[in-house]
Amino acid sequence: MNFSVKIFGYCLFTCCFLACIPLRVPPSIKNYEVKIAKKFKGDLPERYAFIFEDNYPEGFFYNFMDRRFERNGVNVNRFVPIEVDSSTYYMSFYEVKRIDKSVSLLNLFINGEMETDVDAEDSDVSKEDYWYIAITVSDQMDQDVLNKSYKTQAKVVDYLRALQLSYQNSSNRQ
């Protein structure tokens, strides 16, 4: 076996040995997605939601919405009335945490075993939290406004997109 093949094999073995294997990978959302909230996270409602990544810690969006809609800390995240195209709708939002987990093969090899429960605290597992905002909108008859078949769905999505951009460009979030 020639020298370059040995070096390649050694490098490949080292890379595999030092690699991390993902256990949970949160979704990457470029701008936003409109999808069934429950499919995004199991404890969300069975409605369509406008979902986007939140690059700020938990509570920033809540504070933004409290100021923006002058809720004074009362029902900030539930049934906030909004007006789109001369119609009143009710917006609710959820701050959703998804966790990126991976296991280090090197630590696993050194320690000899790993917890089978991926939620358990384990030094072999690295975690990183990712935050998302999921917004649902209903009309006065409790119809799902973000459903594609709803007549003004596109206008409401445009409104939510503008709200998202306003939040992301806000200089005073806390």
Q: What is the pLDDT of residues 7-21, one digit of tens each?
A: 765 655 555 555 666
pTM of the complete model:
0.75
Summarize pLDDT for 41-87 with one digit per residue, the tens: 999 999 999 999 998 888 899 999 999 999 988 888 899 999 999 99
- The DSSP 8-state label assigned to residue 144 in this structure reads B
Domain spans, the chain: 3-169
Residue 91 has pLDDT above 60, yes or no: yes
Half-sphere exposure at residue 155, Cβ-oriented, CA atoms within 13 angstroms = 11
Q: β-pairing, 48-54 with 33-36?
A: antiparallel
Got the DSSP string for 100-131?
EEEEEHHHHHHH----S-TTS--TTEEEEEEE
Q: What own/partner pairs with CB < 8 Å and gap ≥ 24 does 115-118 have?
A: 118/23, 118/24
What mean pLDDT do residues 122-141 have?
Answer: 82
Residue 118 has pLDDT above 50, yes or no: no
Report which of residues 116 and 128 the model is more confident about: 128
Q: Which helix (H) or strand (E) holds 23?
A: strand 20-24
Half-sphere exposure at residue 59, Cβ-oriented, CA atoms within 13 angstroms = 3
